[in-house]
Structure 1
Amino acid sequence: MIGLKKLIKETEIRRIDRISDMVEIGLGKEIEYTSVLGKKKLKNKQTFHIQCPFRIKKDKKLIVGNRDIYNVCDENKNWDDWEKYGSNYFDKMVENEIKPDLPLEILDIAENDDGDVSIFLSKGYCIEIFVNAASEDEYWRFMDTYTDKHYVFNEK
Structure 2
Amino acid sequence: MKIPTTLKHKPVIVAEDYSNIDGRLAYHTDAKGLSLGLAQWSDRGSLDISAKIWRYTGEKWSRQSEEMPLHRVLDLAIFLTSAMKYFREAYRFPKLYDPADPQIERIGIQGDAMTVEVCTDNERIDGDIELFSQVLSEDSELLGERLGILARMLRDMGY
Coarse TM-score class (shorter-chain normalised): under 0.3
Higher helix share: 2
Considering Cα pairs closer than 8 Å and 6+ residues apart, tell me whether 1 or 2 has the greater RCO.
1
Higher strand share: 1
What is the TM-score with the length of structure 2 in the denominator? 0.24
Find the structure with the greater CA-based Rg.
2
What is the TM-score with the length of structure 1 in the denominator? 0.24
